[in-house]
Structure formats: C-alpha cells, structure tokens
A and B are shown apart, each in its own frame.
Chain A
Amino acid sequence: MSDATANGIADTAAGRKPRRDIGIKKRYAAERRFKAYGIIAIAIGLSFLVMLMWSIFSKGYTAFWQTEIRVPITFSEEVLGTAEQANESQTKLLMANYPQLARDGLVQLLGINPDDKKAVSAANGLISSGTRVALRDIVMNDLSVIGRTEDVWLYASSELDSALKGQYDLSVEESRRPISDLQLQYIQKLQQAGAIEQRFNWGLFTSGASSRAETAGVGVAIIGSLYMMGIVLVLALPIGVAASIYLEEFAPKNRFTDLIEVNINNLAAVPSIVFGLLGLAVFINWFGLPRSAALVGGLVLTLMTLPTIIIATRAALRAVPPSIRAAALGLGASKNQTVFHHVLPLAMPGILTGTIIGLAQALGETAPLLLIGMVAFVADYPSTPLDPSTALPVQIYMWANEAERAFVERTSGAIIILLGFLAIMNVSAILLRRRFERRW
C-alpha cells in the first residue's frame, strides 16, 4: 500500500517542477538495509545449525562401522586345557590367555616368524585387546570348539580402525603417527587377503563403558536413560496434570494460588544445575538414596520437568471451550465429573504433546546428573533403578573428555544416537498434535 502511494507521488511530481527532496531514496535505502539485516541474521542462525549438524555427522557417522579382522583361531588345548577339564572346573577357561590365541592366529595369517618379537608385537597392535571377552564367550558357549581351528571376526584396534577411516594423516613421519609402516604393510596384506572388513557396529548400541574405544558403547547408558525417562513419566505426568487441573479448574484466586503460579514460572527458569544440588542434598544426603542411581536421577529430572508439563497442560486445558463445561454442568454432572469425564479427555492430545517435549528436555539434560554421581564407569547393565547407572548425555560428556582420536568418533556417534531419540520424540509430538488437535 505504501508503495502505491509513493509511486503516485512520484508520477505527479514528474509533471511539475522537481519537488523538495524529502529523502525518499535515503529512506528506501534504509528500508532495504534493515530488511537485509533480518535476512542476514536468519542466515547466520541457520548456518550455525548447519555447521553444528555437519560437524557432528561428518565426525560421527563412521562410528557406526567398525573394522574387523578375520583371523583363523586355533583353540589349542595347550592354552585352554581339554574339554573334560573345562567341564570339571571353569576357572582355567575363565583365566586362560585368550589374547595369545588371537595373536598366534594373526601371526600365522600374516606369515610372520613367531620369534621376531618386533613383528609379532606390531601385528598384535592391530587387534583390539577386547578380544579376550569375545573369544572367551565363544569358548564358554560351545566347549566343542576346543582343539579346532575356526575363522573368527575380531575387532581391530582403534588405531587400525582410525587409520582405515582416514582419520590419521599417514603421510607424516613414522614416529609421529600411532600406526607404523610395518603395520601398514600388514594392513595391505590383510586387505588383499580379504580379511579386513568394515562391519556394522552393533557393539556401539549394546556395550557399556570401556577404556578401549573399540569396545565402548552406549547400551548401558541408554538403559539408564530409559529408567530415568520411565520414572519421569510415571511421576511427572500424573503430578503435573493434577497440579494443572487444580490451578486451571478449581483454584480460587487467592494468595496461595498466586504463590504457586509465581513458583512454577520461576522453577521453569531455575538453572538445571541447581536441581542437581537439590538432589544431592535432599535425596542422597537426607534420604540416604544411593549415589549414581537411576532413581535419584529420575527424581531430579521429574522436579525439573514438572514446570514444563504443567505449563503445557494448562494451555491445553485452557483451549477446551467453556461451552463443554457448561453443557456437562447443565446436565447435572458434578464439577469433578465435568473435569475428569469431559475436559481432561479433550485436552489429552495437548497434554501428551507437552509431556513428550518435557521428556525430550529431560533426556538431553546433563548438568544435574553430574552432581548426583552419574559420572561413573558403568560397564554392566543396571538391573534395577537403584543400581549404579549412567545416562546417555553423561556418557557423551565422559567420552568428550577422552583424548584418543577414536573416542571423538564414538562421542559424535553417541550424539547422533541421542539426537535421533530426540528427533523421534519431537516428531511424534508434532504428529500427535496435528492428528488430534481440534480447532473449536
């Protein structure tokens, strides 16, 4: 509209004597500049998003593949003892020198002289020292394997893994890189023999904490996070919904309800680390709950998520038109029946959306969990919420502090998994809203 009037003025001005310069050009230039600032600001914001995502994904996607070497392993009775001995007592099997089996197999595969100590140790550096557990599991599951020779896919060491993924600069001097020229020769030999392969890394999803990158995974952390999400859901959803119903439907307007409202708004903005201090002082110090337990983490996250859920639920309740309430009350329903039989079901999609968003927020929260002792090296699955456990973001934090190159890849991989969970939750919240949202 302003354009049209401006043009009109310009047209009539052209016919007569030139009008006084009122700075139209300047003003339009300022207008264009101002608009450009807005576009630039948005472009910067979006480019940050792209850089962040690109940085994480480009570093992390390789974590889903793990280099493995096919090694012919001779399960020799010399090392393991005979099957009969194993049937009697498993101690020998448990304590046996499995890495030696792997080393002998690789030495044989590469055709190295077993007496050449330097060559043997170079070859040994190619396989992960985590093979002990893998080989032991094979033998323990099937004793008949003792005495036979079988091809086994073993995890390669993180150095070999990183080298094959191109994470090391191999052109530099030998002493300045973690993998030697001799080892490079071996790798070529193995590649020619087809004994090296990049396979999908299931261990990343199932393993627990480990000091070796190739055997470290987020499985245990995911279980810890699931426990906490379960606790948050079981506690925060009913409490949050009940509180919102009271505040929205029943509460008289007085100082007490005013106080509650101010409180909730404030809690939503309290730094998350303060909730960690609360958890440490109250749940661990006063109630004597164990440190690094998923239960404590769940309780702390519940208190943190409550304001989010309450605010979302109240919005959902407010969106239900008053005519519904009037109709129910008019037909003789009590106030409670009106709320629980009519208003609440209609508000449910909105409540669930808010809950999912609150859960997503809780899933990504790290700081309060650090204070209640979840920075722990947990290698075993927690079987109850009272067992020591860790959480996905805390696992990421711990890996981020590891120096090894392979852990950078693992950390990014774990972040991708975390972002994947968050994306699923948020998308399902959006779909839920689209599918069930009613416009009155």
Chain B
Amino acid sequence: MRSEPLVPRNSFGESAPVSTFTIILIVIAIGLAGAVMAYRRSRALVGKDGVKMHSRPTYHASFVACWGIIPALLTLAVWLIVSPIVISTNVSASFPEGVLADSQLTEGLAYGIVESIGTGLQVLPGDERATITDATPVADVTALLRDRGIPTASAATDWMVPLAIQLNSMQIWSRWAMTLVVFVVAVAGAFWAYRQIAPRLRARNNVERIVNGALIAASSIAIMTTVGIVFSMLFETIDFFSRISPAEFFFGTSWEPRFSNVGSSGNAGSFGFIPLLAGTLYIGAVAMLIAVPIGLFAAIYMAEYADNRTRSIVKPLLEVLAGIPTIVYGFFALITVGPFLRDLSAEISGLATGNYVSFIEAQSVLTAGLVMAIMLIPFVSSLSDDIITSVPTSLRDGSLGLGATRSETIKRVILPAALPGIVSALLLTASRAIGETMIVVLAAGVAANLTLNPFEPMTTITVKIVAQLTGDLEFNTPQTLVAFALGMTLFVITLGLNVYALYIVRKYKEQYE
C-alpha cells in the first residue's frame, strides 16, 4: 500500500490524489498556454520574407488550444468510464474459489460489499489504516469502521479484506496513471499542433471543422435525452414486469403497494393501474371541460372582436397565468379552493335539506380539475389565438362581404378552417393536463379510488410516481420500480398525444401553402 496520506473519497466516487476537476482545469490551462504561444509565433511569421498566412493568428491559437484540450479530455472521459470496469472484473476474478457458492451472495452483491469496505478504509486515518493487512480478520475492520460511523454489511467475510485493499491500491494506481497520461496527451497534442504552424497551415478550416462537429454534438443531445428517457425507464420497467405480471398491472383495479420486506415479492401488494388511469383521465377531463370553453371564447374574442389596445392588455395578463409555477396553483387549491368548495357544499346542502354536511371533500376531483383548468386557460387561449389569427383574411372578408355577421363568420368559416390547428392545440393541452404533477399532488388526494363521483378524491399516475419515489428508497423493490412503469406509461400516452398533434399541425399547414 502507498504510504502517502489519501484525500478522503469525494462524492464523485473517486479517491482523489488529484481531483478530476483539477485535472480538467490544468488541461485547459495547458491548452490556453499553447494558444498564447501559437499566437505569438504566428504573429512573428507574418510579414517575414513577404509570406502571406493562410489563416489569421487567432485561428492558429484556437488550433493549438483544440489539439491541447480535446484529445486530453477525451482520454480522461474514456479512462473514467473504462477503469472502474477493468478494476471490478479484476477484483471479481480474484474472488477465492467457491466462496460464492457457499454463501447466498451474488457476485454483484459481494463486489458491492468489498467496495464499501474499500471506501471505508479510505476514510480511516493513515495510522489506523496501516494496522490493517491482508490477514486482518473482517471483524476488526468493521469495528474500526463503526467507530468512524461507517456501517458495513453483515455479510462481510474475512476474504473480502485483502480484496478491498487490492481494490483501493488499484484505484489509486489508476488515478495516478490517468493523471499522468492525460497531462502527457495534452502537452503532446499542443506541442504537435504548435509545430504545425506555418504560413500554409489551413488552421481556419481545421478549427471550423471542429466547431461544426461540436454544433452537431450539441444538437444530438436532444436525441440523447429522448434515448436516455426511453432506455432508463425501459430497463426499470422490464425489471418491474419480471416481478409483477403486465396483466396484473394494466388490468388490476386495486392499488395497494405495501412497503414491506425487501425481496418477498409475494407480499408486495397489488399494483392495479386502472384506478390511477381513471383518476388521471377524470381530473384531466374536468379540467378540459372548464378550460376549453373559457380559453376558446377568450381566444375568439381577442382575435376577432378586441381592438389592439384591449388585446395588448388582456393577452399578457392571461399569459401571466401560464407563467405561474404549478406549485403555486397546488397551494391555492389546497388552502383556498378546496376549503371553499367544501364550505360551499355544506351551505348548499344546509339550504336544501337543513343538514349542514359538506358533500364535496376538500381534496377532490373537482378541486384538482378546477385549479388545473385555471392553469390550462392561457394554453388554450394563446395557442388558439395564434391559429385563429393565421386564418387568411380573404376568407373572413369573403364571408362578411356576403352579409354574414361576425359570429356567423366565426362559426361557419373561421372555426372550420382553423379546426385542425385547434384540435392539435387541445391535444397538446390535454397532454399537459395528464402530465401535470404538483396541482394533483396537493389537491387530488392519495387514495386510489375508483369512483364516478367528482366530489370524492381520486389519485393520478403522477401522484403515485411522486409517492413511490420520495423518501428513503431501495432501488430493487417492486414498490419503487413501479414508478418507472408508471412513468413509461405516462410518457407513452403524452408522446402519442404530442405526435398526433404535430401530425395534425403538419397536415394543416399544407392546406394554405
């Protein structure tokens, strides 16, 4: 083992003689230094013997900087990805024969314990760590670690100690080697590029090619995000369906996941998706039922009747509603709307029957739907507004010229012409209603009811995702994995709505061009 004191493992997961961040900074510094030298050299070449440079000095400088920084950082990235894999296969390969067969541990679990012992060892002060050798029994190690407040798995056994020490030394060796290699690559790259500087060097074209590559990489991030979303959820969803059958999930009518012991899947409770879907659609439908007429009429008025002054005041004011964070709506529902509806229903029933009982609960489908509708109004109105104003004036003039009133023109000519656009706007709004989280978390309730009564609480897909994933969680239980299955379903539903909306918009665009 190395004798120099180690910096404690930082949160990135590496024991760091030189932290990754420092390495990156130094590499950038090397690149910049190279750039300054290249600039000087390039300036010195200009005008000597009447040579004309192909590229300006700044391009030579950027050329050297690129060669200094990019290969080094790529090396760093590859090393950081590959080295843990190499180390773990190496360590796993030196597990003593047959130990895994004797215990109930899988290879992955055993490696996890070895790793945690290794991490613990790094936190120990140098003198205590020096007392631990390959022959130290594991009990002593765990005792030392417990004094520092580091828990270790009870399944740790004696043969893991030497492996943990081996793991640590390999990690440290890898760090030092990486630091060295990265610096060498940086200096070599910059030096090579510096030597290239000559009047005929096409530095600008080179740099521009690199820039273009960077631009393409940046635009691929959008694709990578989608791929990331799909795959991250897909793996966990498949894992979930290997424990709970898809039929049970998609057609079950009872949602009662129990937070019970890990591993015993028979005791995991029931994961019926139907009540959540019903709640999501019901609340979304109530919200759309309120928001669509209001939003649509507001849009029609603003596009067809309002003068410019009114429009310039009302439109931004309505859009303020769209800029308010949904958590604020949720709080509004929880504190103001819910209690108001509850008290109102008590008054109504009191007037009707003399019995002051509230038939609307504070958390209910109606509360959530109403507040969500407030949030959706500006979406409906500004999307429809844009679509209505984009209907050609000639259609409007033709209809008015034939003697139709404005409202007849709107109803018979403009709305039919704008219909595809409006339908797509409504689809987008619906997808927002289905994916909305904070309002329903605070206003809809958590009980997975299957009911038709809008005055009772129901729950939604998003509420359950939040409920399953907040707090302490262990990743390998159906209780947490179900959140990914729910997320995947939600993603597929909203994606379907969005794609269909885009499809309608594309088709609609062709009609007027």
Q: Please list the residues of chain A having a beta carbon within 8 angstroms of any beta carbon in chain B.
A: 1-2, 5, 27-28, 30-31, 33-35, 37-42, 44-46, 48-49, 51-52, 55-56, 59, 238-240, 242-243, 245-247, 250-251, 259-260, 262-267, 269-278, 280-282, 285-286, 288-290, 293, 303, 306-307, 310, 334-336, 360, 363-367, 370-371, 373, 375, 386, 393, 396-397, 400, 408, 411-412, 415, 418-419, 422, 426
- The listed residue (A39, A238, A396) touching B331 by CB distance below 8 A is A396
A270 touching B229, Cβ below 8 Å: yes
User: Are A45 and B294 in contact, with the CB atoms below 8 A?
Assistant: yes
- B159 interface residue (CB < 8 Å to A): no
Residues of B within 8 A of A371 (CB): 465-466, 469-470
Query: 17 A-B pairs, CB-CB below 8 angstroms?
Result: A34-B406, A35-B406, A42-B301, A56-B328, A56-B331, A245-B215, A264-B222, A267-B225, A271-B490, A274-B490, A277-B469, A290-B11, A293-B11, A364-B325, A366-B325, A371-B469, A397-B442
B438 at the interface (CB under 8 A from A): yes
On B, residues with C-beta under 8 Å from A are 10-13, 204, 208, 211-212, 214-216, 218-223, 225-226, 228-229, 232-233, 235-236, 293-298, 300-302, 305, 314, 317-318, 320-321, 323-332, 334-336, 374, 377-378, 381, 400, 403-408, 410-411, 428, 431-432, 434-438, 441-442, 462, 465-466, 469-471, 475, 483-484, 487, 490-491, 494-495, 498-499, 502
For B329, the chain A residues whose CB sits under 8 A away are 52
Residues of A within 8 A of B225 (CB): 263, 267, 278, 303, 306
6 tightest A-B CB contacts, nearest first:
A271-B435, A38-B301, A364-B325, A281-B232, A41-B297, A242-B218
B470: contacting residue among A5, A281, A303, A370, CB under 8 A: A370
Nearest chain B residue, comparing its CB with the CB of A411: B331
- The answer to whether A27 touches B305, judged by C-beta atoms less than 8 angstroms apart, is no
In the complex, which residues of chain B have a beta carbon less than 8 angstroms from the beta carbon of A290? 11
CB distance from A399 to the nearest CB of B (A): 9
Interface contact B211-A306, CB-CB below 8 Å: no
A280-B222 in contact (CB<8A): no
Known: A38-B300, A246-B218. A45 touches B325 (CB 8 A): no
User: How far does the Cβ of A366 sit from chain B's closest Cβ, in whole Å?
Assistant: 4
Known contacts A270-B498, A281-B236, A306-B222; can you find 15 more A-B pairs with CB under 8 A?
Answer: A1-B400, A30-B405, A31-B407, A38-B297, A46-B318, A59-B335, A242-B218, A263-B222, A269-B432, A271-B494, A364-B327, A365-B325, A366-B326, A367-B437, A367-B466
How far apart sit A400 and B305, CA to CA, in the bound complex (Å)?
Answer: 42
With a cutoff of 8 Å between Cβ atoms, the chain B residues found around residue A277 in the complex are: 229, 232-233, 465, 469, 483-484, 487
Bound: A31/B12 CA distance, A:
67
Instruction: Report A-chain residues with C-beta under 8 Å of the C-beta of B330.
Output: 397, 400
Bound-state CA distance A363–B507 (Å) is 36
Q: Are A336 and B466 in contact (CB under 8 A)?
A: no
In the complex, which of the residues A30, A33, A41 has the most CB atoms of chain B within 10 Å of its own CB atom? A41
Q: In the complex, A195→B489 CA distance in Å? A: 60
Determine if B327 and A41 form an interchain contact, defined as CB atoms under 8 angstroms apart.
no
- Complex contact A393–B325 (CB within 8 A): yes
Least CB distance, B195 to chain A, in whole angstroms: 25
Distance of B267 from chain A, by nearest CB (Å): 25
Partner of A31, one of B236, B405, B483: B405
Residues of B contacting A37 with CB < 8 Å?
A: 297, 301
* A274 in contact with B215 given A35-B305, A41-B301, A418-B325 (CB within 8 Å): no
Q: Which of B317, B324, B435 contacts A272 (CB 8 A)?
A: B435
CA distance in complex: A397, B331 (Å): 8
CA of A59 to CA of B294, assembled, Å: 28
A282-B221 Cα distance, complex, nearest whole Å? 14
CB distance from A374 to the nearest CB of B (A): 10
CB distance from B435 to the nearest CB of A (A): 2
Contact between B297 and A415, CB atoms less than 8 A apart: no
Q: Shortest CB–CB separation between residue B281 and chain A, in angstroms?
A: 15
In the bound complex, CA of A44 to CA of B431 (Å): 23
Closest chain B residue to A288, Cβ basis:
B13
Cβ-defined partner of A415 (8 Å) among B317, B321, B328, B432? B328
Give every chain B residue within 8 A of A393 (Cβ-Cβ): 325, 327
Chain B residues closer than 8 Å to A419, beta-carbon distance: 324, 328
CB distance from A259 to the nearest CB of B (A): 7
Query: What residues of chain B lie closer than 8 Å to A289, measured between beta carbons?
Result: 11-12
- Chain B residues in 8 Å Cβ range of A27: 405, 408
Residues of chain A with a CB closer than 8 A to B215's CB: 242-243, 245-246, 250
A396 to chain B: closest residue by CB: B327
What CA separation (Å) do A263 and B227 show in the bound complex? 10
Contact assessment for A273 and B331 in the assembled complex, using a CB-CB cutoff below 8 Å: no
User: Chain A contacts of B12 at CB under 8 A?
Assistant: 288-289, 386
* CB closest residue in chain B, given A426: B323
